[in-house]
């Protein structure tokens, strides 16, 4: 497998895992933990795993300016983006969150035009408007048939999460080509732990996950769900993204975000977290079509 193909395979795997992680996160936030404790466990677990792996690999020296970029990327692409994601899933459904996430290629295109001087053509602008139409459709229909406790707030937080993720892809595109994924992630999750832990510290004893007041089988569901989020949706998923960015452009990486709603919707509907209504496939078609249009060269 050549390097570009391995990059494509890596980002596909990452987004399948992220898609699976959406309904699991929804389950954990409803029954087991608060958004900040959820984030703290992800940061601590990933930091320990990446630093342990790095101890057995050749030491890689990181330039100070690149280290600052990696840490800033970690704060935007993980701490801020994923905290907003956790709060968004507190207020809206996994399917609607994931559909919002399909706007990632559009956000990437817009920011690339500002910071990387990439030209936006008329057909790409049409694609942007098509994606916005899909997002507006979701909001309007959700006002008529509420599924979350506050869908407008949840969708707004999801959009902010999308924006910070796109910023992460843009600002880390150059350093991703210079350093190994393990080196980048060990620093990313170290600074993330330092940033999140003070806000979560007083909430640990308030969560069911740490209360101990549950049976063995029930506990395995909560602990197993959190283990999946730490090991797969954090460590493996976030390892694959910088690996893919070594060989692919940020816009190309962002296109694969469109796998998330397909996976998340399928799982969420099966386990009863959401129901299939007419607007979901229509909005998905509009957003996916817009993502395809804005990433075409011609």
Counted domains in the chain: 1
pLDDT of residue 143: 53
Place of tokens 């249009």: 293
Tokens of 35: 């958004």
Of 268, 251, 252, residue with least CA distance to 260: 268
Mind listing the pLDDT tens digit of every residue in the chain (298 residues)?
Answer: 678 788 888 988 998 898 888 888 888 988 899 989 999 999 999 999 999 999 999 989 999 999 999 999 889 988 899 889 888 888 877 767 777 777 777 787 778 777 767 677 777 778 777 777 776 676 566 555 556 667 788 888 988 998 898 888 888 888 888 899 999 999 999 999 999 999 999 999 889 888 877 888 888 999 999 999 999 999 999 899 989 888 877 777 777 777 777 777 777 778 776 677 777 788 778 777 776 776 666 5
Q: What CA–CA distance (Å, rounded) separates 149 from 90?
A: 8
Whole-number pLDDT of residue 118? 67
Q: CA–CA distance from 46 to each of 5, 65, 165, 187 (Å)?
A: 26, 23, 18, 10
Q: How far apart are CA 96 and CA 151, in angstroms?
A: 9
* Residue 98, C-beta contacts closer than 8 angstroms, at least 6 positions apart: 19, 22, 260, 261, 264, 265
d(CA 80, CA 64): 23
Segments forming the whole domain that contains residue 266: 3-294
The predicted pLDDT at position 273 comes to 65
Q: How many angstroms separate the Cα of 227 from the Cα of each of 213, 223, 236?
A: 19, 6, 12
């Amino acid at each position: 497998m050549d390097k570009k193909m391995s990059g494509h395979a890596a980002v596909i795997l990452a987004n399948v895992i992220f898609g699976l992680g959406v309904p699991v996160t929804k389950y954990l936030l409803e029954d087991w933990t608060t958004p900040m404790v959820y984030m703290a466990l992800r940061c601590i677990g990933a930091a320990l795993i990446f630093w342990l792996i790095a101890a057995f690999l050749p030491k890689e020296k990181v330039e100070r300016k690149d280290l600052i970029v990696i840490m800033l990327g970690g704060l935007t692409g993980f701490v801020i983006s994923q905290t907003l994601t956790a709060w968004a899933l507190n207020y809206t459904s996994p399917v609607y969150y994931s559909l919002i996430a399909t706007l990632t290629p559009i956000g990437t295109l817009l920011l690339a035009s500002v910071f990387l001087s990439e030209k936006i053509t008329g057909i790409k602008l049409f694609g942007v408007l098509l994606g916005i139409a899909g997002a507006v459709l979701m909001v309007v229909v959700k006002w008529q048939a509420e599924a979350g406790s506050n869908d407008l707030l949840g969708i707004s937080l999801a959009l902010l999460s999308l924006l910070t993720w796109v910023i992460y892809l843009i600002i880390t595109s150059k350093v991703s080509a210079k350093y190994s994924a393990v080196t980048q992630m060990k620093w990313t999750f170290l600074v993330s732990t330092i940033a999140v832990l003070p806000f979560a510290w007083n909430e640990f004893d308030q969560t069911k996950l740490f209360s101990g007041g549950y049976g063995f089988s029930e506990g395995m569901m909560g602990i197993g769900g959190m283990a999946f989020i730490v090991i797969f949706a954090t460590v493996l998923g976030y390892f694959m993204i910088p690996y893919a960015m070594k060989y692919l452009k940020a816009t190309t990486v962002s296109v694969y975000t469109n796998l998330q709603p397909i996976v998340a919707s399928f799982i969420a509907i099966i386990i009863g977290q959401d129901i299939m209504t007419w607007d979901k496939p229509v909005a998905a078609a509009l957003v996916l079509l817009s993502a395809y249009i804005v990433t075409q060269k011609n």
